[in-house]
Amino acid sequence: MNVVRTTGVTKRYGALAALDGVSVTLAENTIHGLLGRNGAGKTTLMRILTGQSFETGGTVEVFGQHPYENADVLARTCFIKESQHYPEKFRVRHALRAAELLYPHWDAAFAAELLADFAVPTGQLLGKLSRGQLSAVGVIIGLASRAPLTLFDEPYLGLDAVARQLFYDRLLADYAAHPRTIVLSTHLIDEVSDLIEHVVLLDRGRVLIDADAESLRGEAVAVSGPADAVERFAAGYEELHRERIGGSLRVTLTGAPDRAHPGLDFEPVSLQQLVVRTTQHHGAPVAAGKEAR
């Protein structure tokens, strides 16, 4: 069953198309990676899926219904934003209590465990927390809510490597015990590549990849060797990237079933490399973009 289905969704801010004909389906009880550069449209898509923003065109279905002002849909949805601002008078315990009131599957014991894991003081005013502690509060709410559809929009800002790994470990363990649909938007693709089961890659508001992570891992290969031999081998396959050093050539190919050829070296391509190469292949400017709101 699909939890999310969008068909030709567009979102325009004047002349800028933050989303341009996005059609994706997100299956139930799966961890989805929503990947893409800054400004690709990831946050915009998640805001539309959670009824916080409005599409300009196309159709959006979450749990089979449009999410806007849909109490039935939104009660099953938790959206943890990187830019989440908390009321300045709220302490950590108030934010958690609010989530407890609103989510029927809230696990208070799990939240307490996570608070201890991330060393977040419950009595502290949210406005006085560090960036990492604030991110941890978002992570705790997202995990302990056990919402059937949980969206994390770059939830790791300010978290160090140890805390991020803790988040991934806790997410995976809790997901195994309580399967649900999780959408994880991140730039740290290598860190989550073993976690995500389905990949949606957005670039400049369009879907570049919508595929199972497992099939993607086997889809691309980096072939290197003498330039002539590599050129002959690469002919007929889709080429994502090429690097030439002297007489040697290294190309990243998709759809190449033959992984053995005399005189050529074959290396698997990581998910991050595949995303980078696919994005570059489609001609995105290299300069860092700005996430559309």
The residue ranges that bind another protein (CB under 8 A) are: 47, 50-54, 69-71, 74-81, 84-90, 94-95, 97-99, 101-103, 141, 145, 147
Give min distance, CB of 68 to another protein, in A.
9
Give min distance, CB of 4 to another protein, in A.
15
Question: Which of residues 85 and 290 has its CB atom nearest to another protein in the complex?
Answer: 85
Question: Which of residues 20 and 82 has its CB atom nearest to another protein in the complex?
Answer: 82
What's the sign of the alpha-carbon dihedral 85, 162, 174, 109?
negative
Question: Which of residues 144 and 195 has its CB atom nearest to another protein in the complex?
Answer: 144
Question: Which of residues 33 and 138 has its CB atom nearest to another protein in the complex?
Answer: 138
Instruction: State residue 198 phi and psi, 5-degree precision.
Output: -140, 140
Question: Which of residues 79 and 175 has its CB atom nearest to another protein in the complex?
Answer: 79
User: What string of H, E and C letters represents the secondary structure of 109-151?
Assistant: HHHHHHHHHHCCCCCCEHHHCCHHHHHHHHHHHHHHHCCCEEE
The pair of three-digit structure tokens given for residue 240, joined into one six-digit string? 């994502």
Give min distance, CB of 275 to another protein, in A.
27
Give min distance, CB of 85 to another protein, in A.
6
Please report, as a single letter, which amino acid is at residue 215.
Answer: S
Give min distance, CB of 20 to another protein, in A.
19
> What angle (nearest 5°) sits at the alpha carbon of residue 61, between those of residues 58 and 65?
125
Judge contact between 225 and 248, C-beta under 8 A.
yes
CA dist., res. 266 & res. 263, Å (int): 10
Q: How many residues does the chain have?
A: 293
CA dist 148 → 22, 29, 74, 127 (Å): 23, 8, 10, 29
Judge contact between 103 and 147, C-beta under 8 A.
yes
Give min distance, CB of 67 to another protein, in A.
10
Judge contact between 100 and 41, C-beta under 8 A.
no
Question: Which of residues 74 and 264 has its CB atom nearest to another protein in the complex?
Answer: 74
Q: In a 10 Å sphere around its CB, with 0-12 CB exposed, 13-18 middle and 19+ buried, how is residue 263 labelled? A: exposed
Give min distance, CB of 53 to another protein, in A.
5
CA dist., res. 166 & res. 161, Å (int): 9
Question: Which of residues 10 and 270 has its CB atom nearest to another protein in the complex?
Answer: 10
Give min distance, CB of 254 to another protein, in A.
37
Question: Which of residues 90 and 168 has its CB atom nearest to another protein in the complex?
Answer: 90
